[in-house]
Amino acid sequence: MKFRKDAVADNTANETREEVREMAEALSLYRSAMQHIAEREAARPFAPGVSQRMTERRPERRSRFSLLLAPALAAAVAAAVLVPMYGHFHHEHGATPAPVVANGQQHANDTHAAVDDTALMNQIDSEVSEDVPDALRPLADLSDQTTTTSSVSEKKNATQE
């Protein structure tokens, strides 16, 4: 009985030893394979694609940054230009009553001027309708004759037509 137990234990130990040996061999082969592959890969110069990617990484970040920055700057510039323009426009638009007032004022001025004109016309009219001074009487008579002659000749022409 004891002999059989020892035999089973020996078998188990042998199996374990064999398993460990196989695993050690597999690990050794794996190491050799990795060393071989790495040496083969390292024998090549640094891949240009990789180098390019490495050098492009930072510009890419820069371009990404500029992609974000450009619209922000554009918006800022647009705001800087448009806000004062809007303010100016708004100010102008808000100030439109001013011309109305000005027009009103102008109208008042015009009215005032019109009044002045009327007064002036009345004044002129009164002055014209005044009696001709004695010294100017002959001229006044001459003027009356001319007016009458011309009106008679006009009437004649009109009837002939």
Partner 1 sequence: MEEMATTPASMLSGGPGAGSELAIEKREQAMLELADFDEVVRVYRPRILRFLLSSLTDRDAAESLTQECFMKAWSARHQFRGDSSLSTWLTRIAVNLMRDHLRSRSLRFWQKTRGSSLDVMDISDWVPDGRGTPESLAVARDRVAAVWEAVKSLSAQQRTVFVLRFVEELELDEIATTIGMNLSTVKSHLYRALAIIRERMGGAK
Residue whose CB is less far from partner 1, 7 or 37: 37
Positive or negative torsion for Cα 32, 38, 41, 42: negative
Among 14, 51, 66, 150, binds partner 1 (CB under 8 A): 51
At residue 46, φ and ψ (nearest 5 deg) are -55, 130
Among 7, 13, 29, 139, binds partner 1 (CB under 8 A): 29
Measured CA distances, 151 to 44, 142, 145 (Å): 123, 14, 10
Q: What is the largest CA-CA distance in the chain?
A: 180
Residue 38 in contact with partner 1, rule: CB under 8 A:
yes
Contact in structure between 126 and 134 (CB atoms under 8 Å): no
Count of residues of this chain found to bind partner 1 when the rule CB under 8 A is applied: 25
Residue 86 in contact with partner 1, rule: CB under 8 A:
no
In the complex, what is the shortest distance from the CB of residue 63 to partner 1, in angstroms, rounded to a whole number? Answer: 19
Residue 34 in contact with partner 1, rule: CB under 8 A:
yes
